[in-house]
A and B are shown apart, each in its own frame.
Chain A
Amino acid sequence: MTLTPELDLRFREAAAAAGLVDVAYDVTDSPIGDLLVAATERGLCNISFDPDDAADRLARVFGRGVLRVPSRLDTVRRQLDEYFEGRREAFELEPDISLLPPFQQLVLHELAQVPYGRLTTYGALARRIGRPRAARAVGGALNRNPIPIVLPCHRVVGASGSLTGYAGGLHVKQRLLELEHALLTPPDS
Chain B
Amino acid sequence: MQAVAVPPFERFYEEHRDAVFGLLVKRVGRQAAEDAFQETFFRALRAYPNLRHADHLRAWVLTIAERVSIDAFRRLRPAPEVPDLESVDERPAYQELLDLTSDLPPKERAAVILRYGYDLPYDLIGSALGSSTEAARQAASSGVRRLRQKELP
Q: Are A10 and B6 in contact (CB-based, < 8 A)? A: no
By size class, the interface of chain A is 20 to 34
Q: Contact: A66 with B10, CB < 8 Å?
A: yes
**Cβ contacts under 8 Å, B51 to chain A:** 64
Complex interface: stretch among B34-42, B61-69, B125-133: B34-42
Are B9 and A67 interface neighbours, CB within 8 A? yes
Binding site of B, secondary structure by majority: helix, strand, loop or mixed? helix
Whether A2 pairs with B18 at a CB distance below 8 angstroms is yes
Q: Given A11-B37, A11-B41, A3–B21 Cβ distance below 8 Å?
A: yes
Taking CB atoms, residues of chain A closer than 8 Å to B9 are: 21, 59, 64-67
B18–A3 contact, CB under 8 A? Answer: yes
Closest to A68 in B: B10
Q: Do A8 and B17 touch (CB < 8 A)?
A: yes
Do A67 and B21 have beta carbons less than 8 Å apart?
A: no
Question: How distant is the Cα of A59 from the Cα of B17 in the complex, in angstroms?
Answer: 19
Shortest beta-carbon distance, B28 to chain A, in Å? 12
Chain A residue numbers with a CB within 8 Å of B18 are: 1-3
Residue of B nearest to A11 (CB): B38
Question: Which of these, B6, B8, B41, B45, contacts A58 with CB under 8 Å?
Answer: B8
B13 interface residue, CB < 8 Å from A? yes
**Which one, B11, B30, B45, contacts A20 given CB within 8 A?**
B45
Choice from B17, B22, B42, B48 contacting A64 with Cβ under 8 Å: B48
Q: Which residue of A lies closest to B24 (CB)?
A: A1
Quick check: is B46 within 8 A (CB to CB) of the other chain?
A: yes
The complex places the Cα of A144 from the Cα of B10 at a distance, in Å, of 25
A65 interface neighbour in B11, B38, B49, Cβ under 8 Å: B49
Give the CA-CA distance A68 to B14 in the complex, in Å.
Answer: 10
The answer to whether B41 touches A55, judged by C-beta atoms less than 8 angstroms apart, is: no
Nearest neighbor of A58 in chain B, beta-carbon distance: B8
CB-CB under 8 A from B34, the residues of chain A are 7, 10
Chain A 1-45 interface residues, beta-carbon cutoff 8 Å to B = 1-3, 7-8, 10-11, 14-15, 18, 20-21
Provide the residues of chain B in CB contact with A7, threshold 8 Å.
21, 34, 37-38
In angstroms, how far is the closest chain A Cβ from the Cβ of B33?
A: 8
Within 8 A of B (CB), among A44-82: 55-56, 58-59, 63-68
Please give 8 more A-B residue pairs, beta carbons under 8 A apart, in addition to A18-B42, A63-B49: A1-B18, A7-B21, A7-B37, A7-B38, A15-B45, A20-B45, A55-B11, A66-B8
A-B contact pairs, 16 of them (CB 8 A): A1-B22, A1-B25, A3-B17, A3-B21, A10-B34, A15-B45, A20-B45, A21-B9, A21-B45, A56-B8, A56-B11, A64-B7, A64-B51, A65-B48, A65-B49, A67-B45
